[in-house]
Homo-oligomer: A and B are copies of this chain.
Amino acid sequence: MFKVNENYLKLPGSYLFSTIAKKVNAYTAEHPEANIIRLGIGDVTLPLAPAVIAAMHKATDEMGAKETFHGYAPDLGYEFLRSAIAEHDYKKRGVSIALDEIFISDGAKSDSGNIGDIFATDNKIAVCDPVYPVYVDTNVMAGRTGEYEEAAQRFGNVIYMPCTAETDFAPELPKETPDIIYLCFPNNPTGATIPKTELQKWVDYANANRAVIIYDAAYEAYVSEEDVAHTIYECDGAKTCAIELRSFSKNAGFTGNRLGFTVIPKELAFDGVSLNSLWARRHGTKFNGAPYVIQRAGEAVYTSEGQKQTKEQIAYYMNNAKVIREGLTAAGYSVSGGINAPYIWLKTPEHMTSWEFFDYLLETAHIVGTPGSGFGPSGEGYFRLTAFGTYENSVEAMKRIQELCRG
Protein backbone atom coordinates (compact mmCIF):
# COMPACT_ATOMS: atom_id res chain seq x y z
CA MET A 1 0.00 0.00 0.00
CA PHE A 2 1.52 3.31 -1.03
CA LYS A 3 2.04 6.09 1.49
CA VAL A 4 2.25 9.82 0.91
CA ASN A 5 4.98 12.16 2.08
CA GLU A 6 3.33 13.26 5.31
CA ASN A 7 5.64 16.23 5.64
CA TYR A 8 3.40 17.97 3.13
CA LEU A 9 0.56 17.78 5.63
CA LYS A 10 2.51 19.99 8.03
CA LEU A 11 2.07 22.95 5.68
CA PRO A 12 -0.78 25.02 7.07
CA GLY A 13 -2.40 26.27 3.90
CA SER A 14 -1.70 26.92 0.30
CA TYR A 15 1.31 28.76 -1.02
CA LEU A 16 1.08 32.46 -0.07
CA PHE A 17 0.57 33.84 -3.56
CA SER A 18 -2.03 31.21 -4.42
CA THR A 19 -4.01 32.34 -1.37
CA ILE A 20 -3.78 35.97 -2.41
CA ALA A 21 -4.87 35.16 -5.96
CA LYS A 22 -7.91 33.29 -4.64
CA LYS A 23 -8.88 36.17 -2.34
CA VAL A 24 -8.54 38.73 -5.11
CA ASN A 25 -10.49 36.57 -7.56
CA ALA A 26 -13.30 36.20 -5.04
CA TYR A 27 -13.36 39.96 -4.45
CA THR A 28 -13.42 40.88 -8.13
CA ALA A 29 -16.14 38.31 -8.80
CA GLU A 30 -18.29 40.14 -6.28
CA HIS A 31 -17.17 43.64 -7.33
CA PRO A 32 -16.56 43.47 -11.07
CA GLU A 33 -16.56 47.27 -11.25
CA ALA A 34 -13.60 47.65 -8.87
CA ASN A 35 -10.46 48.98 -10.56
CA ILE A 36 -7.92 46.80 -8.79
CA ILE A 37 -4.27 47.87 -8.64
CA ARG A 38 -2.02 44.88 -8.08
CA LEU A 39 1.07 45.68 -6.06
CA GLY A 40 1.08 42.27 -4.44
CA ILE A 41 2.92 39.53 -6.23
CA GLY A 42 6.41 40.47 -7.38
CA ASP A 43 5.56 40.18 -11.03
CA VAL A 44 6.90 42.54 -13.63
CA THR A 45 4.70 44.46 -16.05
CA LEU A 46 7.04 45.95 -18.66
CA PRO A 47 7.35 43.97 -21.90
CA LEU A 48 10.59 42.16 -22.69
CA ALA A 49 13.37 44.38 -24.01
CA PRO A 50 13.61 44.73 -27.82
CA ALA A 51 17.04 43.02 -27.82
CA VAL A 52 15.52 40.04 -26.03
CA ILE A 53 12.54 39.88 -28.38
CA ALA A 54 14.84 40.00 -31.41
CA ALA A 55 16.90 37.13 -29.99
CA MET A 56 13.77 35.07 -29.39
CA HIS A 57 12.57 35.57 -32.96
CA LYS A 58 15.97 34.60 -34.29
CA ALA A 59 16.16 31.52 -32.10
CA THR A 60 12.62 30.54 -33.08
CA ASP A 61 13.63 30.69 -36.73
CA GLU A 62 16.61 28.47 -35.93
CA MET A 63 14.27 25.95 -34.33
CA GLY A 64 12.21 25.92 -37.51
CA ALA A 65 15.05 24.99 -39.86
CA LYS A 66 16.71 21.59 -40.06
CA GLU A 67 20.26 22.95 -40.20
CA THR A 68 19.90 25.10 -37.10
CA PHE A 69 17.43 23.11 -35.01
CA HIS A 70 18.39 22.45 -31.37
CA GLY A 71 17.22 19.41 -29.42
CA TYR A 72 18.29 18.63 -25.86
CA ALA A 73 20.53 21.32 -24.39
CA PRO A 74 23.86 20.48 -22.74
CA ASP A 75 23.40 19.38 -19.11
CA LEU A 76 24.62 22.61 -17.54
CA GLY A 77 23.05 24.89 -20.16
CA TYR A 78 24.49 26.37 -23.33
CA GLU A 79 28.03 27.61 -23.10
CA PHE A 80 27.15 30.88 -24.86
CA LEU A 81 24.95 31.76 -21.88
CA ARG A 82 27.28 30.49 -19.18
CA SER A 83 30.15 32.46 -20.75
CA ALA A 84 28.12 35.65 -20.76
CA ILE A 85 27.22 35.10 -17.11
CA ALA A 86 30.80 34.35 -16.05
CA GLU A 87 32.00 37.48 -17.86
CA HIS A 88 29.33 40.01 -16.93
CA ASP A 89 28.05 38.89 -13.54
CA TYR A 90 31.37 37.77 -12.12
CA LYS A 91 34.55 38.67 -13.97
CA LYS A 92 33.50 42.32 -14.24
CA ARG A 93 33.17 42.35 -10.46
CA GLY A 94 36.59 40.80 -9.98
CA VAL A 95 35.25 37.31 -9.31
CA SER A 96 36.44 34.27 -11.23
CA ILE A 97 33.75 31.63 -11.77
CA ALA A 98 34.43 28.67 -14.08
CA LEU A 99 31.86 27.71 -16.69
CA ASP A 100 31.21 24.36 -15.04
CA GLU A 101 30.36 26.10 -11.80
CA ILE A 102 27.28 27.66 -13.43
CA PHE A 103 24.06 25.67 -13.86
CA ILE A 104 21.33 27.17 -16.05
CA SER A 105 17.82 26.51 -14.81
CA ASP A 106 14.20 27.49 -15.31
CA GLY A 107 14.34 29.99 -12.47
CA ALA A 108 15.39 30.74 -8.93
CA LYS A 109 12.12 29.44 -7.48
CA SER A 110 12.85 25.95 -8.79
CA ASP A 111 16.48 26.18 -7.73
CA SER A 112 15.76 27.46 -4.24
CA GLY A 113 13.31 24.61 -3.77
CA ASN A 114 15.38 21.89 -5.40
CA ILE A 115 18.77 22.74 -3.90
CA GLY A 116 17.68 21.03 -0.68
CA ASP A 117 17.80 17.68 -2.53
CA ILE A 118 21.58 17.48 -2.21
CA PHE A 119 21.60 17.94 1.57
CA ALA A 120 20.85 15.41 4.28
CA THR A 121 17.46 15.57 5.92
CA ASP A 122 18.91 16.17 9.37
CA ASN A 123 20.55 19.50 8.54
CA LYS A 124 19.13 22.39 10.52
CA ILE A 125 18.25 25.47 8.55
CA ALA A 126 18.30 29.14 9.49
CA VAL A 127 16.21 31.70 7.66
CA CYS A 128 15.73 35.41 7.82
CA ASP A 129 12.31 36.23 9.20
CA PRO A 130 10.48 37.47 7.18
CA VAL A 131 11.67 36.02 3.90
CA TYR A 132 10.55 34.39 0.62
CA PRO A 133 8.36 31.49 1.85
CA VAL A 134 9.78 28.93 -0.57
CA TYR A 135 12.87 28.34 1.60
CA VAL A 136 10.93 27.16 4.63
CA ASP A 137 8.07 25.47 2.75
CA THR A 138 10.39 23.31 0.67
CA ASN A 139 12.33 22.31 3.77
CA VAL A 140 9.06 21.36 5.42
CA MET A 141 8.28 19.16 2.41
CA ALA A 142 11.71 17.55 2.70
CA GLY A 143 11.14 16.69 6.36
CA ARG A 144 13.85 19.01 7.59
CA THR A 145 11.56 20.85 10.02
CA GLY A 146 9.29 20.01 12.90
CA GLU A 147 5.54 20.54 13.04
CA TYR A 148 3.89 23.90 12.51
CA GLU A 149 3.33 25.63 15.82
CA GLU A 150 0.07 27.49 15.41
CA ALA A 151 0.52 29.93 18.30
CA ALA A 152 4.06 30.93 17.32
CA GLN A 153 3.22 30.75 13.60
CA ARG A 154 6.46 28.95 12.96
CA PHE A 155 7.82 25.49 12.26
CA GLY A 156 9.75 23.54 14.85
CA ASN A 157 13.46 22.83 14.31
CA VAL A 158 14.02 25.96 12.21
CA ILE A 159 16.18 28.86 13.32
CA TYR A 160 14.25 32.04 12.57
CA MET A 161 16.40 35.15 12.48
CA PRO A 162 14.14 38.15 13.10
CA CYS A 163 14.61 41.07 10.71
CA THR A 164 12.41 43.83 12.05
CA ALA A 165 12.64 47.55 12.68
CA GLU A 166 14.42 46.61 15.94
CA THR A 167 17.29 44.94 14.04
CA ASP A 168 17.25 47.47 11.21
CA PHE A 169 15.80 44.63 9.09
CA ALA A 170 19.11 42.72 9.15
CA PRO A 171 19.58 39.28 10.70
CA GLU A 172 21.93 38.77 13.63
CA LEU A 173 24.29 35.81 13.81
CA PRO A 174 22.19 33.07 15.41
CA LYS A 175 22.92 31.77 18.91
CA GLU A 176 22.33 28.18 17.84
CA THR A 177 24.59 27.06 15.00
CA PRO A 178 22.69 26.17 11.81
CA ASP A 179 23.90 23.80 9.07
CA ILE A 180 22.29 25.63 6.17
CA ILE A 181 21.77 29.39 6.18
CA TYR A 182 19.44 31.01 3.67
CA LEU A 183 20.29 34.64 2.97
CA CYS A 184 18.48 36.82 0.46
CA PHE A 185 19.89 40.27 -0.29
CA PRO A 186 18.40 42.55 -1.42
CA ASN A 187 15.80 40.91 0.76
CA ASN A 188 12.39 39.81 -0.36
CA PRO A 189 10.09 41.07 1.17
CA THR A 190 11.72 43.85 3.21
CA GLY A 191 13.90 45.28 0.45
CA ALA A 192 16.70 45.52 3.02
CA THR A 193 20.37 44.96 2.28
CA ILE A 194 23.45 44.69 4.44
CA PRO A 195 26.84 46.25 3.64
CA LYS A 196 29.51 44.01 2.16
CA THR A 197 31.43 44.23 5.42
CA GLU A 198 28.46 42.69 7.22
CA LEU A 199 28.04 39.99 4.56
CA GLN A 200 31.71 39.14 5.07
CA LYS A 201 30.90 38.35 8.71
CA TRP A 202 28.33 35.78 7.55
CA VAL A 203 30.85 34.18 5.22
CA ASP A 204 33.42 34.01 8.03
CA TYR A 205 30.79 32.60 10.38
CA ALA A 206 29.78 29.92 7.85
CA ASN A 207 33.37 28.90 7.21
CA ALA A 208 34.14 28.80 10.93
CA ASN A 209 31.09 26.61 11.61
CA ARG A 210 31.18 24.56 8.38
CA ALA A 211 27.73 25.82 7.51
CA VAL A 212 26.64 26.37 3.93
CA ILE A 213 25.04 29.63 2.83
CA ILE A 214 22.37 29.54 0.15
CA TYR A 215 22.56 33.08 -1.13
CA ASP A 216 19.58 34.25 -3.15
CA ALA A 217 20.66 37.25 -5.21
CA ALA A 218 17.56 37.45 -7.40
CA TYR A 219 17.31 41.20 -6.84
CA GLU A 220 20.98 41.99 -7.40
CA ALA A 221 20.26 44.29 -10.34
CA TYR A 222 18.43 46.70 -8.04
CA VAL A 223 21.44 47.36 -5.81
CA SER A 224 22.19 51.07 -6.05
CA GLU A 225 24.44 51.67 -3.06
CA GLU A 226 28.19 51.31 -3.40
CA ASP A 227 28.83 49.34 -0.23
CA VAL A 228 26.39 46.52 -1.06
CA ALA A 229 27.77 43.36 -2.72
CA HIS A 230 26.28 42.22 -6.03
CA THR A 231 27.46 38.65 -5.49
CA ILE A 232 28.46 36.87 -2.31
CA TYR A 233 31.69 35.85 -4.02
CA GLU A 234 32.91 39.43 -3.57
CA CYS A 235 33.50 38.28 0.01
CA ASP A 236 36.75 36.46 0.87
CA GLY A 237 36.25 32.77 1.42
CA ALA A 238 32.73 32.62 0.03
CA LYS A 239 33.69 29.89 -2.43
CA THR A 240 34.16 27.38 0.37
CA CYS A 241 30.78 28.04 1.95
CA ALA A 242 28.28 29.63 -0.43
CA ILE A 243 25.91 28.64 -3.22
CA GLU A 244 24.48 31.58 -5.14
CA LEU A 245 21.05 31.63 -6.82
CA ARG A 246 20.33 34.11 -9.58
CA SER A 247 17.34 34.90 -11.72
CA PHE A 248 16.47 36.71 -14.92
CA SER A 249 12.97 37.42 -13.63
CA LYS A 250 13.57 40.76 -12.03
CA ASN A 251 16.59 42.17 -13.88
CA ALA A 252 15.15 41.46 -17.32
CA GLY A 253 11.45 40.78 -16.77
CA PHE A 254 11.64 37.02 -17.42
CA THR A 255 8.86 35.99 -15.02
CA GLY A 256 6.99 34.57 -18.02
CA ASN A 257 10.16 33.41 -19.75
CA ARG A 258 11.60 31.31 -16.90
CA LEU A 259 15.37 31.47 -16.62
CA GLY A 260 17.80 31.45 -13.75
CA PHE A 261 21.05 29.90 -12.65
CA THR A 262 22.87 28.50 -9.67
CA VAL A 263 26.58 28.88 -8.97
CA ILE A 264 28.35 26.18 -6.96
CA PRO A 265 32.12 26.64 -6.70
CA LYS A 266 34.13 23.46 -6.86
CA GLU A 267 35.85 24.35 -3.58
CA LEU A 268 32.57 23.80 -1.76
CA ALA A 269 32.78 20.29 -0.35
CA PHE A 270 31.85 18.13 2.60
CA ASP A 271 34.18 15.29 3.60
CA GLY A 272 35.68 15.39 0.12
CA VAL A 273 32.27 15.29 -1.61
CA SER A 274 31.88 18.26 -3.92
CA LEU A 275 28.47 19.91 -3.84
CA ASN A 276 29.10 20.95 -7.43
CA SER A 277 29.22 17.31 -8.50
CA LEU A 278 26.11 16.42 -6.49
CA TRP A 279 24.17 19.25 -8.08
CA ALA A 280 25.49 18.25 -11.50
CA ARG A 281 24.12 14.77 -10.85
CA ARG A 282 20.75 16.13 -9.83
CA HIS A 283 20.66 18.55 -12.75
CA GLY A 284 21.52 15.80 -15.21
CA THR A 285 19.03 13.32 -13.75
CA LYS A 286 15.96 15.39 -12.88
CA PHE A 287 16.06 18.30 -15.31
CA ASN A 288 16.46 18.71 -19.04
CA GLY A 289 17.46 22.33 -19.39
CA ALA A 290 15.77 25.61 -20.15
CA PRO A 291 14.40 26.00 -23.70
CA TYR A 292 16.91 26.99 -26.39
CA VAL A 293 14.87 30.06 -27.29
CA ILE A 294 14.89 31.20 -23.67
CA GLN A 295 18.63 30.62 -23.23
CA ARG A 296 19.21 32.78 -26.31
CA ALA A 297 16.88 35.38 -24.77
CA GLY A 298 19.06 35.29 -21.66
CA GLU A 299 22.21 35.77 -23.72
CA ALA A 300 20.67 38.89 -25.29
CA VAL A 301 20.32 40.46 -21.85
CA TYR A 302 24.13 40.68 -21.72
CA THR A 303 24.59 42.44 -25.05
CA SER A 304 25.23 46.17 -24.86
CA GLU A 305 21.74 46.87 -26.22
CA GLY A 306 20.21 44.38 -23.80
CA GLN A 307 22.09 45.91 -20.88
CA LYS A 308 20.97 49.40 -21.81
CA GLN A 309 17.34 48.39 -22.27
CA THR A 310 17.05 46.31 -19.10
CA LYS A 311 18.74 49.04 -17.05
CA GLU A 312 16.04 51.41 -18.29
CA GLN A 313 13.40 48.96 -17.10
CA ILE A 314 15.00 48.81 -13.67
CA ALA A 315 15.17 52.60 -13.54
CA TYR A 316 11.46 52.71 -14.38
CA TYR A 317 10.60 50.34 -11.53
CA MET A 318 12.89 52.14 -9.10
CA ASN A 319 11.16 55.39 -9.94
CA ASN A 320 7.91 53.66 -8.97
CA ALA A 321 9.61 52.59 -5.75
CA LYS A 322 10.41 56.22 -5.05
CA VAL A 323 6.81 57.25 -5.75
CA ILE A 324 5.54 54.58 -3.36
CA ARG A 325 8.10 55.28 -0.63
CA GLU A 326 7.42 58.99 -0.71
CA GLY A 327 3.66 58.54 -1.08
CA LEU A 328 3.47 56.23 1.92
CA THR A 329 5.72 58.47 3.99
CA ALA A 330 3.56 61.46 3.14
CA ALA A 331 0.53 59.43 4.24
CA GLY A 332 2.18 58.88 7.60
CA TYR A 333 3.38 55.30 7.23
CA SER A 334 6.67 53.93 8.56
CA VAL A 335 8.44 52.70 5.46
CA SER A 336 11.67 50.91 4.56
CA GLY A 337 13.13 49.23 1.48
CA GLY A 338 12.79 50.63 -2.02
CA ILE A 339 16.39 51.86 -2.25
CA ASN A 340 18.26 48.72 -3.34
CA ALA A 341 15.15 46.70 -4.13
CA PRO A 342 11.79 47.00 -5.84
CA TYR A 343 10.01 46.21 -2.56
CA ILE A 344 8.58 48.70 -0.12
CA TRP A 345 7.96 47.43 3.38
CA LEU A 346 5.57 49.25 5.64
CA LYS A 347 4.33 48.97 9.19
CA THR A 348 0.57 48.38 9.28
CA PRO A 349 -1.31 51.23 10.97
CA GLU A 350 -3.27 51.01 14.21
CA HIS A 351 -1.98 47.56 15.19
CA MET A 352 -3.79 45.87 12.33
CA THR A 353 -2.54 42.38 11.52
CA SER A 354 -1.02 41.95 8.09
CA TRP A 355 -4.09 40.14 6.75
CA GLU A 356 -6.44 42.73 8.29
CA PHE A 357 -4.52 45.40 6.43
CA PHE A 358 -4.66 43.29 3.25
CA ASP A 359 -8.47 43.17 3.44
CA TYR A 360 -8.68 46.83 4.41
CA LEU A 361 -6.54 47.96 1.49
CA LEU A 362 -8.34 45.70 -0.98
CA GLU A 363 -11.80 46.76 0.15
CA THR A 364 -11.26 50.48 0.69
CA ALA A 365 -8.63 51.33 -1.91
CA HIS A 366 -8.82 48.35 -4.29
CA ILE A 367 -5.09 47.84 -3.89
CA VAL A 368 -3.57 44.36 -3.61
CA GLY A 369 -0.43 44.04 -1.51
CA THR A 370 1.18 41.16 0.31
CA PRO A 371 0.69 40.51 4.02
CA GLY A 372 4.02 40.53 5.82
CA SER A 373 3.02 37.59 7.99
CA GLY A 374 2.99 35.43 4.86
CA PHE A 375 6.78 35.73 4.87
CA GLY A 376 7.31 34.59 8.44
CA PRO A 377 6.16 35.35 12.00
CA SER A 378 8.28 38.49 12.28
CA GLY A 379 6.52 39.83 9.20
CA GLU A 380 3.33 40.16 11.25
CA GLY A 381 2.27 43.79 11.41
CA TYR A 382 4.10 44.58 8.19
CA PHE A 383 2.99 44.73 4.58
CA ARG A 384 4.79 44.60 1.21
CA LEU A 385 4.08 46.71 -1.84
CA THR A 386 6.03 46.21 -5.04
CA ALA A 387 7.32 48.69 -7.56
CA PHE A 388 6.60 46.34 -10.48
CA GLY A 389 3.33 48.00 -11.47
CA THR A 390 3.03 50.81 -13.95
CA TYR A 391 4.03 54.36 -13.06
CA GLU A 392 0.42 55.46 -13.47
CA ASN A 393 -0.85 52.77 -11.11
CA SER A 394 1.85 53.51 -8.56
CA VAL A 395 0.82 57.18 -8.56
CA GLU A 396 -2.88 56.30 -8.46
CA ALA A 397 -2.34 53.83 -5.61
CA MET A 398 -0.59 56.49 -3.54
CA LYS A 399 -3.37 58.94 -4.29
CA ARG A 400 -5.93 56.43 -3.02
CA ILE A 401 -3.93 55.72 0.12
CA GLN A 402 -3.51 59.38 0.88
CA GLU A 403 -7.26 59.92 0.40
CA LEU A 404 -7.92 57.08 2.83
CA CYS A 405 -5.87 58.90 5.43
CA ARG A 406 -7.81 62.06 4.96
CA GLY A 407 -11.17 60.23 4.81
Contact = CB atoms under 8 A, between A and B. Distances in A.
Interface of A: 1-6, 8-9, 11, 14-15, 17-18, 41, 43-48, 50, 52-53, 56-57, 60-61, 63-66, 68-73, 75, 106-107, 109-110, 113-114, 117-123, 134, 137-138, 141, 179-180, 209-212, 253, 255-258, 270-271, 273, 275, 278, 281-282, 284-294
B286 A138 contact: yes
A46 B69 CA distance: 7
B110 A2 contact: no
A293 B14 CA distance: 27
Contact of A72 (B9, B46, B256): B256
B9 A273 contact: yes
A261 to B, nearest CB: 14
A71 B179 CA distance: 35
* Residue among A106, A110, A180 with most chain B CB within 10 A: A106
A14 B41 CA distance: 39
9 contacts: A2-B180, A4-B120, A4-B275, A4-B278, A8-B118, A107-B288, A109-B287, A141-B286, A257-B291
Nearest to A106: B106
B53 A63 contact: yes
B72 A255 contact: yes
Contacts of A46: 66, 69
Given A14-B284, A255-B288, 16 more contacts: A2-B123, A5-B119, A11-B281, A15-B281, A44-B71, A45-B71, A47-B65, A48-B69, A50-B64, A57-B60, A107-B288, A110-B286, A117-B141, A141-B282, A258-B289, A291-B293
Given A47-B65, A60-B53, A211 B258 contact: no
Given A2-B179, A6-B120, A286 B134 contact: yes
A72 B43 contact: yes
B109 A288 contact: yes
A60 B65 contact: no
Contacts of A9: 273
Contacts of A14: 281, 284
